């Protein structure tokens, strides 16, 4: 039976890296993820990009390799759209937060940010500027936004312009450092699935205000918003107002993405007033 190009690429990867027992464990819109074995014993991961995978996956893979295993899963090699990676099977920070350890999870997330943003000798790969990442927010027609919440969109756009108009440091950014993208390992907490951005490092903690998933009561607690902002200021030295500004604008940006995908934006609409109020008070 003739193999598809994807099957051929997978088989070539298995032969090249002397791997066996490829078991599909996840499928996303842009990739297939396989658990494989090295030398018949040690597990590893093969992430195979689908033909329709865009630049985002390529950027993310390149950035993950650039991290060199510091604060992130190690990329051993890649070939023809197949990435050979470290196996991580520990619990995520999302599991910790959902089980009542949100404070510990936030401290751990800040530690991952500090490690990912550490200096490295090699130049980073080409990455997407953060302002371009916000394109969906800046281009969202007000007519498409829920009628009773149009003021939230306008406010978020205004705050975003203020953030980008004020000079700031620029670093390679994971871009999606949410709780369930950080996994426990013998080497500590490690990030997976970066988006591959470059810009203000403060943006790195923005998505944590909307996460973990499946914990709406925790996430929408106004006291948690304050706790997270306080902790990132204390642990990372980030300006508190910029932290809250990015949290609010990211919530609006996330809503724009979900609207485009036909998904619910209830969480974002619940969070935006809380985040904007905290921003105003900072």
Q: Which residues are catalytic?
A: 176
The CA-CA-CA angle for residues 28, 197, 167, to 5°, reads: 150
Decide if 206 contacts 111 (C-beta within 8 A): no
CA distance 113 to 116: 5
Count of Cβ atoms closer than 10 Å to residue 155 Cβ? 18
CA 171 to chain centroid, in Å, comes to 15
What DSSP string runs through 200-254?
A: -GGGGGGGGGG-STT-HHHHT-HHHHHHHHHHHHHHH---HHHHHHHHHHHHHHH
Is 82 in a helix, a strand, or coil? Answer: strand
Q: What residues contact 143, with CB distance under 8 A and at least 6 apart?
A: none
H/E/C letters for each residue in 86-107? ECCCCCEHHHHHHCCCHHHHHH
């Amino acid at each position: 039976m003739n193999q598809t190009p994807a099957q051929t690429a997978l088989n070539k990867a298995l032969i090249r890296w002397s791997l066996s027992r490829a078991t599909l464990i996840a499928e996303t819109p842009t990739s297939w993820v396989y658990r494989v074995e090295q030398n018949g014993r040690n597990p590893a991961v093969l992430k195979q990009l689908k033909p329709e995978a865009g630049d985002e996956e390529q950027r993310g893979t390149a950035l993950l390799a650039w991290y060199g295993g510091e604060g992130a899963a190690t990329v051993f090699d890649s070939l023809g759209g197949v990435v050979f990676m470290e196996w991580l099977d520990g619990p995520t920070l999302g599991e910790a937060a959902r089980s009542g350890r949100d404070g510990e999870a936030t401290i751990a997330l800040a530690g991952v940010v500090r490690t990912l943003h550490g200096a490295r000798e090699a130049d980073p790969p080409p990455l997407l500027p953060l302002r371009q990442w916000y394109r969906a927010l800046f281009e969202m027609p007000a007519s498409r936004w829920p009628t009773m919440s149009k003021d939230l969109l306008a406010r978020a756009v205004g705050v975003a312009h203020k953030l980008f108009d004020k000079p700031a440091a620029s670093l390679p950014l994971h871009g999606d450092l949410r709780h369930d993208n950080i996994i426990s390992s013998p080497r500590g907490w490690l990030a997976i699935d970066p988006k591959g951005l470059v810009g203000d490092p403060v943006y790195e903690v923005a998505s944590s205000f909307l996460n973990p998933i499946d914990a709406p009561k925790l996430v929408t607690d106004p006291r948690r918003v304050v706790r997270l902002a306080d902790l990132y200021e204390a642990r990372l030295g980030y300006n508190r107002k910029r932290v809250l500004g990015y949290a609010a604008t990211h919530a609006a940006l996330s809503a724009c993405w979900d609207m485009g995908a036909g998904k619910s934006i209830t969480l974002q609409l619940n969070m935006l007033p809380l985040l904007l109020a905290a921003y105003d008070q900072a």
